[in-house]
Amino acid sequence: MLAAGALHSIAETGTVCGVGLAWLASGADSGTRLTSVERNPDRARIAAEVFRGCPDVAIFHGDWQRVEEHGPHDVLVLDGGGQAKGDGAADPARLLAAGGTVVIDGFTPATTWPPRLNGPPTRLDRTGPKTPNFETQSHASQQTSA
């Protein structure tokens, strides 16, 4: 459903080997451009090989900021940078098309104050994703083990 709402462009940070990107591609309309960036060169190469032959999918090696080169995007999935965890925060106003959607994968709502999860709290942990002209919704899923 998320990918189906994209008219022209979907971007993802943190490709790894392309599992999340494959999920997005499976729901995207034909002709929707999918861009993903991966900071690890070996994983970027593997993912690019997986998607070879998919003309609407492009994998780039680099940090999350490379998605800006190919925007604006209808859907932006932040799963490997851009979450203000030491490498800067993505600015939805610069990265999204009008009415676009940002998904922050791995953002864990706090149950204590100050929030702590695997180390000291970050600015995003303390404040949540806040920016003018940006409506925030939180959707939590339960992790299950197989």
First and final C-alpha spacing in the chain: 25
- Class of the CATH domain delimited by 3-127: alpha beta
Q: Which residues pair with 77 in a beta bridge?
A: 12, 103
> For the chain, what are the domain ranges?
3-127
Which stretches of the chain are assigned E, i.e. beta strand?
A: 9-13, 33-38, 57-61, 73-78, 96-104
Given a contact cutoff of 8 angstroms between Cβ atoms, the answer to whether 24 and 12 are in contact is yes
Q: What is this structure's pTM?
A: 0.72
- pLDDT tens-digit readout, 60-98: 999 888 989 998 999 999 887 665 556 677 788 888 998
Cα distances from 57 to residues 7, 78, 101, 136, in angstroms, run: 15, 17, 19, 28
- pLDDT tens-digit readout, 39-48: 999 999 999 9
